[in-house]
Amino acid sequence: MCRLNPKVDFAFKKLFGSEENKDILIAFINSIIDENEQIKDIVLKNPYNIADYRNGKMTILDIKAVDDKEVWYDIEMQISQQDFFDKRALYYWSKVYSSQIESGEYYEKLRKTISINILDFNYLNDKEFHNEFKIYNTRTLKEFSNLFEMHFIELNKFDKDYKELKTSLDRWIAFLSRAYELDKDSIPAELAEDREVKKAIEKLDIMYLSKEEREVYENDLKALMDYKAQIKTAERTGIVKGKKEGIKEEKINTVKNLLAMRMDDDFIAKATGLDKEKIEEIRKLRDK
């Protein structure tokens, strides 16, 4: 298996946000954006640098970049589930967009900004793992402006086997989701056919971390493992409590799934037959 987990934001930033790996980042972006907007080159605006992390300049491990057509990108890997992530995503998009000009400069200098949010949890009420958002007139469906573009990639919704991989994005998400079963000497043929994905696996498998980097990575990994353990504990507690109160495990799981899909309590109550008090108890157990 790969020595590092690419979903840990520190490892993700070092792999995709380093100058030496710009070809990997370009290929990843091209797998997401439209075919007629493919990019050939990119400039990293906040390249990976352990000194910046040490000095507190890299507290948010996103990747900011500008391509050869002056399109801006903000790319973030988010592991822990967050409420109101839509607000967070819009906030960070707006920061990258507005930072392109100083006060008093002309608005015409503002360029298209694309936000790519990779989530290791389910957030959107949609079964597809990749969703793209733009600004349209709700009546005519005509695009108002092409300056805004936001992508959500939800890793947990990706369930394709290697033989089912058809697109470049399929291969990238398979890599991010299953690095634990990959190594540079036995890359599945379906992934190896993509040169940049193959390179990413090889880079990750042999990636060197200094003592300081290793400490940061292991702290991030520990936080991830602690978070997942807390979720499992909350789930088990909810199931036990539900059973004691006569609520079937399937119904508890249904409520949790509907909550994850951001359905309101009225809808959940109608769908499950539970009163709002029980729904609130399950929500609190889930959020512990």
In a domain, 3, yes or no: no
Other beta carbons within 10 angstroms of residue 204's beta carbon come to 23
Tokens of 177: 């989701």
Based on the domain organization, do 60 and 129 belong to the same domain? yes
Distances (CA, A) of 30 to 14, 37, 206, 237, 255: 19, 8, 25, 43, 37
Tokens of 25: 């980042």
Helix or strand holding residue 129 (H, E): none
In a domain, 97, yes or no: yes
Q: What is the pLDDT of residue 218?
A: 82
For the chain, the C-alpha Rg in angstroms (whole number) is 21
Based on the domain organization, do 190 and 282 belong to the same domain? no
pTM value is 0.77
In a domain, 92, yes or no: yes
Which of 208, 236, 257 is the last residue in one of the domains?
A: 208
Q: Which of 60 and 27 is assigned the larger pLDDT?
A: 27
Q: What is the pLDDT of residue 89?
A: 94
Is residue 250 over pLDDT 80?
Answer: no
Q: What is the pLDDT of residue 245?
A: 56
Distances (CA, A) of 272 to 5, 176, 243, 265: 37, 35, 15, 10
Q: What is the pLDDT of residue 246?
A: 56
β-partners of residue 74 are 64, 115
Based on the domain organization, do 219 and 185 belong to the same domain? no
Q: What is the pLDDT of residue 187?
A: 92
Which of 208, 239, 255 is the last residue in one of the domains?
A: 208
CA end-to-end distance (rounded Å), the chain: 32
Residue 225, Cβ density class (10 Å: 0-12 exposed, 13-18 middle, ≥19 buried): exposed
Q: What is the pLDDT of residues 165-222, one digit of tens each?
A: 999 999 999 999 998 888 888 899 999 999 999 999 999 988 888 888 888 778 777 7
In a domain, 24, yes or no: yes
Distances (CA, A) of 260 to 1, 257, 263, 270: 31, 5, 8, 17
Based on the domain organization, do 277 and 189 belong to the same domain? no
Based on the domain organization, do 269 and 283 belong to the same domain? yes
Lowest mean pLDDT segment, chosen from 69-73, 121-125, 204-208, 242-246: 242-246
Q: What is the pLDDT of residues 9-39, one digit of tens each?
A: 888 999 999 999 999 999 999 999 999 999 9
Residues 29-50, mean pLDDT to the nearest whole number: 93
Q: What is the pLDDT of residue 141?
A: 93
| Count of domains for the chain | 2
User: What percent of the chain has a predicted confidence (pLDDT) above 70?
Assistant: 83
In a domain, 2, yes or no: no
Based on the domain organization, do 201 and 80 belong to the same domain? yes
Q: Report which DSSP code applies to 121.
A: S
Is residue 55 over pLDDT 70?
Answer: no
Q: Side chain identity at 128, as an amino acid letter?
A: E
Q: What is the pLDDT of residues 139-169, one digit of tens each?
A: 999 999 999 999 999 999 999 999 999 999 9
User: What percent of the chain has a predicted confidence (pLDDT) above 90?
Assistant: 53
Bridge-based pairing of strands 42-44 and 130-136 is unpaired
Based on the domain organization, do 87 and 127 belong to the same domain? yes
In a domain, 31, yes or no: yes
In a domain, 145, yes or no: yes
Based on the domain organization, do 246 and 122 belong to the same domain? no
In a domain, 4, yes or no: no
Which of 149, 175, 208 is the last residue in one of the domains?
A: 208
Based on the domain organization, do 121 and 166 belong to the same domain? yes
Write out the DSSP string of 98-117.
HTTS-TTS-GGG---EEEEE
Based on the domain organization, do 231 and 164 belong to the same domain? no
Is residue 108 over pLDDT 80?
Answer: yes
Q: What is the mean pLDDT of the chain?
A: 85
Based on the domain organization, do 191 and 67 belong to the same domain? yes
Tokens of 159: 């369930």
Q: Could you list the residue range(s) of the whole structural domain that residue 162 is in? A: 9-208
Q: Report which DSSP code applies to 142.
A: -
Bridge-based pairing of strands 63-67 and 72-78 is antiparallel
Q: What is the pLDDT of residue 91?
A: 94
Write out the DSSP string of 40-61.
S-EEESS---HHHHHTTS-SS-
Based on the domain organization, do 137 and 161 belong to the same domain? yes
Is residue 252 over pLDDT 80?
Answer: no
E strands, 231-280, in order:
none
